[in-house]
Amino acid sequence: MTIAKGDKLPDVTLVKVTPDGPEKVSSAEYFAGKKVALFAVPGAFTPTCSAKHLPGYVEKAAELKAKGVDEIACTAVNDAFVLGAWNKSGGSDDITMLADGNADFASALGLDADFSGFGMGKRSQRYSIIVNDGVVEEVNVEGPGEFKVSSAEHMLGQL
C-alpha cells in the first residue's frame, strides 16, 4: 500500500550524509518535530535527477524555508558515499542526503520500483512529500518518465 496524506511515516533506518561521514538515523527520529520537504529520485547522477530535480530544490531552498520548511531532504536508493558526491557536485548544504541503499524506505512507503530493464535493479519512484512531525501532509508521485508534481516549484504551491 502506498503512503497517503495523513499517514505517519514508517520507521526505517536511513543513512544520513554528514561532513564526518555516514550516520545511521531512524526515519522516525529524523522527521520528528520538524517540517521537512522530502524528495526522492531514482538515482544520483541520472539525467533528470541531476539536470532538474536536485537543482530545483537547490534553487528554491530559501523560498521553501521562508514558507515554513525546516529542512529539505533528498533520498535515493544509492549509498551514502554516492549521495555525498552527488550533493558536492550539484547540490548544496541546504539539502540533507538520506541514503536508502537497500530500498527499505522506498518499499515501506510503497514507492519502490523495478528499474531492472535499465540495469538499475530495485529503486525508488520519483516523488515528493511534505512531512510535518513525521506525518504526511502532501504526497506527490510522478508517473513513469514524468517530472512535474515532485518538483520544488510544485511543492512551493502546496505550502
- Convert the pLDDT of each residue in 59-105 to its tens digit: 999 999 999 999 999 999 999 999 999 898 887 899 999 999 999 99
74: annotated active-site residue: no
H/E element holding 40? Answer: strand 35-41
Quote the radius of gyration of the chain (alpha carbons, Å).
Answer: 14
Full-model pTM: 0.93
Degrees to nearest 5, angle at CA 142 with 83 and 9: 65
Residue tagged active-site, from 12, 38, 49, 83:
49
* Beta strand segments in 19-70, E: 21-26, 35-41
Distance in angstroms (rounded) separating the CA atoms of residues 134 and 115: 28
